[in-house]
Structure 1
Amino acid sequence: MKRLFPIMALGAASATGGCVNVTAPDKPIVINLNINVTQEVVYRLDGEAKTLIQQNPDIF
């Protein structure tokens, strides 16, 4: 019985060995990536720069 089991396992493995088929798809593979990028800008001005901008609004 000890010798019969490996022989049966080998037979079962060889019987299922030819069942795997790999073929290329007919249509191209499409990967849809929905990406949302949000940017937030935070700025702070010191008092002197703030008054300079208020006095000269056309500076920028």
Structure 2
Amino acid sequence: MDCGPIQLGGECYDPNTAASHAAFAMNLYYQSHGNKWDCDFSNSAVITNQDPSTYLSCA
């Protein structure tokens, strides 16, 4: 996974919040693994049908 976009100077660094960066990383992981059963974030994330690009500028 390439988390460069959420690193300092990256196109998705702002907003610089743990929630925003985690949402980006979790979405990237989910997108690369194909189905919700491959993602277990120990109850720190939820599966949603909402497209993150509608509320995150870098999803």
Could you tell me the TM-score, scaled by structure 2's length?
A: 0.28
Larger Rg: 1
Higher RCO structure, 1 or 2 (CA under 8 Å, sep 6+): 2
The TM-score normalised by the length of structure 1 is 0.27
